[in-house]
Amino acid sequence: MIKTGIIGATGYAGQELMRLLIQHPDCEVEVISSRTYKDTNYNQVYGNYMGITSDKLVDIEIDEISKKVDVLFIALPHGIASNKISAEILQKTKVIDLGADYRLNDLSVYEKWYGVSHGSPQLINEAVYGLCELKRKEIKKADLIANPGCYTTCSILSLMPLVKNNIIDKNSIIVDAKSGVTGAGRALNLGTHFTECNDSIKAYKIASHRHTPEIEQELSIAGDSNITISFTPHLIPMNRGILITAYASLDKKYTYKDIKEVYEGCYKDEQFIRLLPEGVFPETKWVKGSNYCDINFQIDERTNRIIVLGAIDNLIKGAAGQAVQNMNIIFGLEENKGLEMIPSFPI
Ligand SMILES: NC(=O)C1=CN([C@@H]2O[C@H](COP(=O)(O)OP(=O)(O)OC[C@H]3O[C@@H](n4cnc5c(N)ncnc54)[C@H](OP(=O)(O)O)[C@@H]3O)[C@@H](O)[C@H]2O)C=CC1
Ligand SMILES: CC(=O)N[C@@H](CCC(=O)OP(=O)(O)O)C(=O)O
């Protein structure tokens, strides 16, 4: 059995990790940590665990935890993991960081967009960007995984085939993204109070959201050129889910079938990517509670633009599910072990 630990187990991403790891046939949860709920039974924090686990939360140093586990998931706000992880810790355990500290290859880009200094810049090159469908080979050998962000997972997977195959003007990309409120985490925050976000939709961090350089970095690698995008996130009054609608100019006339072949060329063997039939578009409810990323597109013949839609569950493919998928790859397990959930819609 693979011994796992979760730091930040009381957050929304940490809770989803707990749910997935408890049910994973090859794992046991050895350590769950929290500062706020130290010595509290997990089922007192999250009542859905009553009768399922009586594990207690502990507040011990990462160094201590790393001696007890084969893989450590870190689900903390950005800026903390980089001060906790060291080369010594990586010798004892694999680390999968759900935060943003190791996602950007360029230290100055990280410090500029996140407004904090990085605690372990020497480890940035060691980290592998854990977008499983794109980096499987590197992930297999990695000690430190930078699990991608939620908007970024959905945007990169939806757009990668177009940039990789040079069929769009790579600097014409606009991503309009919507997220459910769990994307903002569990911590108290005025903007996510029921009365502040219910019954309303708002754009935020316009032209300044920190997922912008992450999407640009990975699309630039896939497209082998410097790509700059426009990215606008929106907060939607629903619990979970991300839907992106992306626009780009095509370099010449294509049919739906031409471009479908390009997507199939990239994703035909990918079990978690569902290319929907022509005329059927992704909806967050069809991926809810699952590790799927649904994708489809339409060509607007009047403007010769392609409009691509992608949907994921922000807490699963956008966080905990992808983290478990990364663990499965590292430990040589079937990639879908513990991740075969059927989306939980309709009710
Ligand atoms: N929510 C989402 O959809 C996604 C989240 N992520 C990333 O995953 C990470 C966790 O996100 P999420 O679960 O939403 O966040 P939450 O705010 O829900 O949880 C974060 C947890 O971290 C702990 N924590 C908070 N501040 C500190 C601190 N200063 N020092 C130590 N521990 C602290 C808290 O636990 P306690 O107080 O009990 O110690 C808290 O439960 C973030 O980096 C986020 O960006 C990535 C993709 C999607
Ligand atoms: C709705 C909402 O507030 N979403 C978060 C994205 C959360 C996320 O998971 O991003 P990181 O992992 O990069 O922190 C935001 O826009 O900041």
Domains of the chain by start residue, with CATH: 2-126 (3.40.50.720), 151-312 (3.30.360.10)
Q: Contact at 8 Å (CB) between 203 and 232?
A: yes
Enzyme catalytic residues: 150
| pLDDT score for 345 | 73
pLDDT number for residue 331: 98
For 142-195, what is each residue's pLDDT tens digit? 999 999 999 999 999 999 999 999 999 999 999 999 999 999 999 999 999 999
Span from the CA of 265 to the centroid of ligand 2 (angstroms) = 31
Compute the distance from residue 150 Cα to the ligand 2 centre, in Å.
Answer: 7
Tokens encoding 318: 């956008």
pLDDT band per the 50, 70, 90 thresholds, residue 64? very high
Residue nearest to atom 13 of ligand 2 (CA): 149
State the Cα–Cα distance between residues 74 and 8, nearest whole angstrom. 6
**Which string of DSSP letters, residue by residue, matches 199-217?**
T--EE-STTT-THHHHHHH
Extract the runs of DSSP E, i.e. beta strands, from the chain. Answer: 2-7, 27-33, 71-74, 94-97, 128-129, 144-146, 174-179, 202-203, 230-235, 242-249, 273-275, 293-300, 305-312
Atom 11 (ligand 2): residue with closest C-alpha?
149
Handedness of CA 32, 147, 309, 266 (dihedral sign): negative
pLDDT at position 39 is 97
Alpha-carbon distance of 96 to 75, in angstroms, equals 9
pLDDT value for 151: 98
- Reported ipTM: the value is 0.97
pLDDT in tens, 126-147: 999 999 999 999 999 999 999 9
Q: Distance, CA 53 to ligand 2 centroid (Å)?
A: 29
Q: Which residues contact 17 (CB under 8 A, 6 or more apart)?
A: 6, 9, 73, 75, 98, 320, 323, 324
Give the gyration radius of the chain's Cα atoms. Answer: 20
CA atoms within 13 A on the CB side of 171: 3
Which residue puts its alpha carbon closest to atom 12 of ligand 2? 149
Q: Which two tokens stand for residue 182?
A: 């769990």
CA torsion, points 320, 325, 330, 336, in degrees to nearest 10?
Answer: 140
296-331, pLDDT tens digit by residue?
999 999 999 999 999 999 999 999 999 999 999 999
| pTM, entire model | 0.97
Side-chain half-sphere exposure of 73, counting CA atoms within 13 A: 37
Q: pLDDT-based confidence at 288, cuts 50/70/90?
A: very high
326 three-state secondary structure: helix
Over residues 27-56, the pLDDT tens digits come to 999 999 999 999 999 999 999 999 999 999
Paired sense of beta strands 305-312 and 242-249, if any: antiparallel
Burial label for 277, CB within 10 Å (0-12, 13-18, 19+), is: exposed
The whole-chain average pLDDT of the chain stands at: 97
pLDDT at residue 57 greater than cutoff 70: yes
Confidence band of 346 (pLDDT split at 50, 70, 90): low
pLDDT digits (tens, 9 = 90+) for 221-230: 999 999 999 9
Segment 71-97 shows an average pLDDT of 97
| Residue 347 reports pLDDT greater than 80 | no
132-141 and 150-164 helices cross at what angle (nearest 10)? Answer: 100
| Rounded-to-integer distance, Cα 198 and Cα 176, Å | 20
